[in-house]
Chains A and B, each alone.
Chain A
Amino acid sequence: MNFCFKAYNIEFISDFEPPCEQGYYYRSGSPDVLILNGACPNKVENVIVETDFCKISSVELLLNVENVARYYVQEGKKITVEPYPDVDIDKVRLFLYGSALGALLYQRGLFPIHGAAVNTVYGVMIFVGEQGAGKSTLAAHFQKNGYSLLSDDVCAVTRNKNGILIVLPAFAQIRLCTDALEKLGSLSCYPTARFDVDKFVVSLQDCYDMDSSPLSAVHLLSNVQDEKIHLKRMSGFDRLNLLIDNLYRPFYLTGLASMPAIMRLATTIASEVEIIEIQRPRDFSRISELIEMLEKFWAQKSNFNKKE
């Protein structure tokens, strides 16, 4: 069965159901990317990096997820998926639309930041932080407050034809662990939430942005001992370091033909975009306070131009 959908401004035709309802579209001509169920090779030509789970050349990547599936990602145009026997197909899809897709984005020269992207009148605000820092939870709270989201996991950044840095819309969903979901006010807030492998997935059809939008700022969520919430502008070397530290699956970048272009993009983002550290106590009950603080901060920052 063929699924036609669009994500990251890429038109896909896939043998595997996408993570959520993206909406079908009429397509003419060939898709940008084909995802097929089929046999994967055992190796890649002109391999540059080789580990137990991954083989990488300048244009191809072969990923082996034990007892789930093998994924062969070619030249940013095709992914072949060979599932292991008797596997739960949802696990195959999880790694397909996560890691394998991440590798594809790199091959296409996009800059994938691991974080959540919230669309505001001042442009897109990306939130990054270590696992458990609360990115998805914060994004879910923004969504509850009427904001639309572009991504809750991989924020692909690129330049559009006018040279503006933009964030591409990902999958219209938020993935939340049980803890976070409970603190958001129980499953009843999200009647369509369903459990998928390891997290609850909430579909965001109505408040999901199908258009790419300019990137304004990247915010690092840091959990600290202090009682107060502080917003600190990051400077110089730390800015570039933050972006590179928060790349999605950075290992897949090794040896890629597109790596120089992607690293150049990193320095551009570091010099053009606001980069802020949010130091806050890890207390979900103060998220509303944080959102208010951020809204005030964005409003008074002179270089955030309000969209008309």
Chain B
Amino acid sequence: MNNIDDEFVVVRGKDILSTSIDNETIIMDIESGCYFGLANTAQHIWTLLENPLKVKDLIDILVEKYRVQPETCKLDVKKFISQMLEEGLIVRQ
């Protein structure tokens, strides 16, 4: 988590299938068969990462939308990005 830099550009992984069931977004790595459910903010981040986005810009968008403290938002987002990268759901460009 410490090594997620503001300047990193991230985007959804190529082989990740995304589908909507009720109000949840389900994402699945079809090569491995692993699947995850995303709700609320996670869902929103996933929508934003349809196209490549700098981590710094992602944080700015979320701070604006959810009216939260930038520092808290930065920590949470970076933790989330780190997990998503680890699972191969998003990739660095």
Chain A residues near B (Cβ < 8 Å): 235-237, 239-240, 244, 253-254, 259-260, 263-264, 267, 270-271
Contacts and interface: CB of A to CB of B under 8 A. Distances in A.
Contact of B37 (A236, A253, A263, A264): A236
28 contacts: A235-B21, A236-B21, A236-B22, A236-B24, A236-B37, A237-B21, A237-B24, A237-B26, A239-B22, A240-B37, A253-B33, A259-B31, A260-B30, A260-B31, A263-B17, A263-B30, A263-B33, A263-B35, A264-B30, A267-B19, A267-B21, A267-B28, A270-B19, A270-B21, A270-B26, A271-B19, A271-B20, A271-B21
A299 to B, nearest CB: 23
Contacts of B23: 236
Contacts of A235: 21-22, 24
A264 to B, nearest CB: 6
Nearest to A250: B33
Interface of B: 15, 17, 19-24, 26, 28, 30-31, 33, 35, 37, 39
A81 to B, nearest CB: 28
Contacts of B30: 259-260, 263-264
B89 to A, nearest CB: 14
A199 B10 CA distance: 55
A263 B32 CA distance: 10
Nearest to B23: A236
Contacts of A264: 17, 30
Contacts of A260: 15, 30-31
Nearest to A236: B24
Contacts of A240: 21, 26, 35, 37
A267 B30 CA distance: 11
Contacts of A253: 33
Name, among B21, B26, B28, B31, the residue most crowded by chain A CB atoms within 10 Å (CB to CB).
B21
Contacts of A263: 17, 28, 30, 33, 35
Contacts of B24: 235-237
Contacts of B37: 236-237, 240
B21 A239 contact: yes
A129 B33 CA distance: 22
Given A259-B33, A260-B31, A267 B22 contact: no
Contacts of B15: 260
A300 to B, nearest CB: 20
A176 B28 CA distance: 37
A274 to B, nearest CB: 12
Contacts of A237: 21, 24, 26, 37
A240 B27 CA distance: 11
A188 B21 CA distance: 47
B24 to A, nearest CB: 4
Closest 4 CB pairs of A and B: A237-B37, A236-B24, A260-B30, A267-B19
Contacts of B20: 271
